[in-house]
Chain A
Amino acid sequence: MASSARVRALLWVAVMLPVLCAAFSEEKPTDQRVLVLLDDLALKSSHSIFFKSLTSRGYELDFKLADDSKLALQRYGEYLYDALILFAPSVEGQLGGNLDVAAILDFVDSGHDLILAADAHTSDVIRDIATECGVDFDEDTEAVVVDHINFAVQSESDHSLIVGDKLIDADVILGKDGIKGPVLFRGIAHSVNAASDLVVTVLSASPSAFSATPNAVMTAPPALTGTSISLVSVVQARNNARILISGSLDLFSDKFFKSPVQKFGSSSKSASGNEQLALELSKWTFHERGHLKAVNVHHQKVGEKDEPAMYRITDQLEYSVEIHEWTGKEWRPYQADDVQVQFYMMSPYVLKTMDHNGKGLYHTSFQVPDVYGVFQFKVEYKKLGYTSLTLSKQIPVRPFRHNEYERFIKAAYPYYGGAFSMMTGFFVFGIVFLYHK
């Protein structure tokens, strides 16, 4: 017995080892190693504030030229980086090394994050990556976003340096405080796939904006106009990999971070919100915020401790789950009043909002419906900016056993009486008939 227990323990370790190892990164969802691909190493200094803030938050940045022939995202099947910053809009043809569109998409599909910025000279490679993520840059390669009303007063005359303040209202993406100043933007427009619920526009253009070649005669109406132009978008893939796509690389530059903004038509100058926006978005993208995990899913009959393998119809049961949110340093209890659990078999038979105790423990209790079958406890929590939580746990529900029905039914007493009186009567009749002549 003892040896078998030891064998079992060993087996357990052997089976759980990969799970345990994977749990390490699971426990700390924030990225560590970041590859930064640049067109030109000068960007390192022109965007130094952005990079410095990342380094100060504990990221290891690895700067490479986008056409570096030794580029590699993975070695021996293991990814070398947790995230990728692609600040190389004009890289032509192939990226360096064995990096191509497919490799980058695989990187994302295996759960890694991506920040991508474009500018007026964005190559097809970058456009393809964006398209694959659900963001379509304007197909006119010459066009940039022009706004003759909401532009920043600067020396340039083509009104392509615009001021954006139409930001998404989502604390989890932009931080609790909100972006304080207007955002300077110079770059190209994109539209998001309306059918996709994975991509969200963070910064959209004002109604007077349009996408066209500046200082050129317009022969056809612009393809993208007004608020349908997205300037900055974020994507959260189904595997919770996060992608930030910006039409402007300058948005992240020191120059834009520091320059005061004077919007056309207003006399006051204010500090730009670029730095705040860039930092908050990078926090979100690198999972410093809005990352949820659910642990300790538990269900049992009311009044019992252990999880049953099967419920019976009309049982009373309790369901509980702990949900925590990652703050960048530690897991905090997640508090929300809209977490729901479904008791589901092809359609939800029970849908209940769960109560929580402020410490992340969500629980509810309900009665199993009077329907047998293979049910699932389903928690599908999809909230803007948060990683999606999808929990499902299969549990069969059986009908009554033969001895679980009522033994005697009150309404049937006349019939019981009838049966017994019939038996007695027959017995008496039998005796009389046989022995009484």
Chain B
Amino acid sequence: MPRESIVITGLGAATPLGHTYLEFADRLLAGKSGVRTITEFPVNDHPSQIGAQVTDIPCPEEFSQHDFAAMSRLDQAMLWCCTSALCDAKLWHNRSNLRIGIVLGNAAEWLTMWELNFRNGGRQAFETQAHIEPLAHRTAHRLGLNGPVASLSAACASGNHAIALARRWLQLGWVDVCLAGACDLAINPLNLAGFGNLRALSRRNDDPPAASRPFDRDRDGFVMGEGGAIFVLERSASARQRGVKLYAEVAGCGASSDAYHMVIPSPDPVPAIQAMRQALIDAQLDPADIDYVNAHATSTPVGDQAEAKVLASVFGSHIERMPVSSTKSMTGHLLTAAAAVEALVCIVAIERQAVPPTINLHNPDPECRLRHVPNQAEPCRVRATASNSFGFGGSNTCLILKAA
């Protein structure tokens, strides 16, 4: 398989911090929180009553407002992200002449659809569903794309897998361009209750913006988020020929499994270390070449400490100088969509030459000895970034992006 350089040339996002790259980047670097009290459904009996929700997803100019309004929020978010990304890459008008594929990270598509329908008095879950096309496939049809399409879930690690596999499809020559990323709007009563009853969520209901506090001593669980980010990936040679903006090169990917527990991270850091080392080898970089790590750190007591150990082991003494932050402090934990949105964070860091903060970090946990970026963004030379995403089912992934 030829090892061609694959670059990102288009972005689309629907996030709690905004629905355009500029809006997202500005709010991220300003340390704004997207977390608030959930008002879309009653939450009085939920242990956690807060979330980072996506509101008012814009209709792409290329579609009718009427049709868009009739779609589910998940379909709207996906269509907005994909259309924005294709337009950003200046491929919208040429899309039917190219082999454009989609690799999507998504887990809650069916649950979200059935539950919303049931809350509105429908019985969709109890009726045949075999005729319904999955989200990734129907988005491809709506956009008039003719390449291969697939969706996957490794829980919170899904987006990194999707980007890695899209890169591979390009290297195999299966597509000219591939849309890759993740999108999930999973803040609904069953998920909020399920995660709440797992005791995974923050109960700081009286102060939503302060609830997500990765690496802080007073953290008490994660805050659910929702949204998505989709990227246009293409071969570097064709992108350069087209003269479009190159946001970043997808330089390396690594993945492993804990093979330990469906929920609890393995006490053995080796599998996660392995995923990061694989990504570095794939990117042909040394640990000291990484300028910023976007940590998975969800704000749970166990997970943040486990990741800090992994980072210390992979980076050695470089860990004392290299900035590490968790932007889940602002976006909440977007679950299946987390890795994709955090890849977007890394692009912001490369493009703006600044590392985003971990907000609400006032008392760093002594077990998480890292070069934190507390509460305020820092200007910084950023050429290469690493983004960790670990998921239920024991999935560990690391994605390395570098300036193109």
A and B bind:
no
